[in-house]
């Protein structure tokens, strides 16, 4: 059973930056699709950024130009670099991976507030 563990969340002021990490217990090369989602209370989970083995990354319109998704196969880790953070980016961020099965991390809280 593959496990995904997120880290890097926290409290940051508007305009600041954070880098989230999602480390898999196995090789991330086994996943065709990996993504970051976020969720706020009372709302549906929202796709923030995604990457596959064969296509360019995609981003939600609200984060395009500010967030960057990347992977490091040697570390079995996916990242989300978040710059120019806004209060509306406040959410629990989840990583997701799709291979033979679907896997979710436990989530990490990001709070953007002054």
Question: Over the stretch 44-83, which tens digit does the pLDDT of each residue have?
Answer: 999 999 999 889 999 999 999 999 999 999 999 999 999 9
Residue-level pLDDT at 17: 98
Residue indicated by tokens 């596959």: 52
DSSP β-ladder status, 10-12 and 108-112: parallel
Kindly tell me if the per-residue pLDDT of 100 is higher than 90: no
Angle at 31 between CA 45 and CA 36, to 5 degrees: 25
pLDDT at 99: 87
- pLDDT-based confidence at residue 1 (cuts at 50, 70, 90): confident
pLDDT in tens, 79-91: 999 999 999 999 9
First-to-final CA distance of the chain: 40
């Amino acid at each position: 059973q593959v496990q995904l563990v997120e880290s890097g969340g926290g409290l940051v002021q508007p305009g600041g930056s954070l880098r989230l990490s999602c480390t898999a217990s196995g090789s991330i090369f086994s996943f065709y699709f990996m993504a970051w989602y976020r969720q706020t209370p009372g709302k549906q989970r929202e796709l923030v950024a995604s990457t596959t083995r064969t296509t360019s990354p995609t981003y939600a319109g609200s984060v395009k130009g500010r967030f960057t998704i990347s992977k490091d196969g040697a570390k079995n880790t996916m990242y989300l670099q978040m710059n120019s953070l806004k209060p509306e980016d406040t959410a629990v961020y989840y990583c997701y991976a799709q291979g033979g099965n679907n896997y979710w991390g436990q989530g990490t809280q990001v709070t953007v507030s002054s």
